Amino acid sequence: MAEPTTNLPALSVSELAGALKRTVEDRFGHVRVRGEISGLARPASGHVYLALKDNSAVLDAVMWKGVAALLGFRPENGLEVIATGKLTTYPGRSKYQIVIERLEPAGIGALMALIDTRRLALTAEGLFADTRKRAIPYIPEVIGVVTSPTGAVIRDILHRLAERFPRRVLIWPVLVQGEGAAAQIAAAIHGFNALPVGGDIPRPDVLIVARGGGSIEDLWAFNEEIVVRAAASSAIPLISAVGHETDTTLIDYAADRRAPTPTAAAEMAVPVQRELIDTLMTLDLRLKRAVQRGFNGHQDQVRALARAMPHPRHLLGLAQQRFDEQALRLPRALTTGAMRWQAKLERTVAKLRLGDIERLQWQGRTVLVRAAKALDQASRAQLVKSRTPLVTAVRLLETLSYTATLARGYAVVRQADGRVVATANSARRSSPLTIEFHDGTIELMKNHSKSIDPKPSPATQERLF
């Protein structure tokens, strides 16, 4: 069957894809699309890939690194946004996509809903509990400030601190808006907490995280979970000063104190030095006056008590009179007592006679001699009593001794090392041998010995013995 003829030229795939690309880009060179973010991806290149969808369609989208860095908020899945850009095709996969040049939330309500959802989740974890809040030091030695190094915020903070109470300030410069701002702010909080106490760089006693006012998109970095968690985990008391008084971010809930403005944060960090000095002077004056009043009151009381008390001469007069009387009576009492004891001693001496003393000595010597004789008799009896078992034991030892056995005609055969030879086999293997009799010892060499039947006949036994 013949093929139908046609006048249409045959296009290559690349030619057709290029024609479609030009047509789409010419027709939709600049569009605004509203949809919900899904499939969000952030590779290491810094580009952002996502899809915009509604109830019935999906549109792939790409946002190049330079555009993503300028965003005032962090895109997340589920957030409704309005994307502005141009529509193009991707020939490599036969699909079309939008290259986003501008991305904004579809409305404040969408961002507020996202913030509220995140706030409820973090509240459920206990990150915003009042029990986690710590007191701000009354007069900190070092203050750490996390903010942009340029702009009015840091100048306002430093100026206010210098006016109230000059302190040492450490500034950790960070981005406060755009891509990467949240990571830098969290890293600064962790960095201040990681400083060792007493190190070369002093560890702050209080932290201030500050930023000027702006839209909700501008302040979005302070709603990021990484920043909120860093603030909640800070071991150093932290004051949040983000935006103006009406602005509220999630870091405000996690901070130990929230300041309506950066200037107010500086006022929270330190007292007014002049007012503190005046207060101390007032307290010092009040203390001196109180002490003086107390001293005067005690002095009046002492004077009143002194008037009511009698004179010391009146208190001691009666006692002194009794003392004088006793002092006068003491010599006479001593003389009388001495005379009484002397008379008693003389009467006792008169009762003692020489004959009585000699009789007592003789009686004592007689008792001593009797005791010595009794002790000698008891000792001899005990010695005789103890000797009888000892003699019996000596006789039994002589009876059981092997020397007595030798005296009856027996002998002990020993090896050279003194061990007893108990068998004929042992005697054959040993040389020389020592034979002990009751009256002496002889040494027997092996070549002089004669092998004897271990079981000799009776006739042989008679010859041997």
Domain boundary among 106, 123, 148: 106
Residues 223 and 259 placed together within one structural domain of the fold? yes
Domain-terminating residue out of 346, 375, 395: 395
Residue 292 lies in a domain: no
Shared-domain flag, residues 218 and 245: yes
User: What span, in angstroms and rounded, lies between the C-alpha atoms of 203 and 195?
Assistant: 5
Q: Spell out the per-residue pLDDT of the chain, length 465, in tens.
A: 555 556 777 777 777 777 777 777 777 778 888 888 888 888 888 889 988 888 888 888 998 888 888 876 778 787 788 888 888 887 777 788 888 988 877 766 667 777 888 888 898 999 999 899 999 999 999 999 999 998 889 999 999 999 999 999 999 999 998 878 999 999 999 999 999 998 899 999 999 999 988 877 788 889 899 999 999 999 999 999 998 877 788 999 999 999 999 999 999 999 988 888 888 888 988 998 899 888 888 888 888 877 777 766 666 777 777 887 888 888 888 888 888 888 888 787 776 666 666 777 788 788 888 888 888 888 788 877 777 777 777 777 777 677 777 777 778 888 877 787 778 777 777 778 888 887 888 887 765 444 444 444 444 333 333
pTM here is 0.48
**What CATH number has the domain bearing residue 146?**
3.40.50.261
C-alpha dist (Å) from residue 426 to 128, 406, 431, 443, 457? 99, 21, 10, 16, 22
Q: Same structural domain for residues 101 and 175?
A: no
Our count of domains for the chain comes to 4
Tell whether 391 and 410 lie within a shared domain.
Answer: no
266 burial (CB, 10 Å; 0-12 / 13-18 / 19+) is buried
User: Do 409 and 391 lie in a common domain?
Assistant: no
Structural domain range at position 368: 357-395
The verdict on 270 and 146 lying in the same domain is yes
Rounded Cα distance, 58 and 36, in Å: 9
Cα–Cα distance, 105 to 101 (Å, whole number): 14
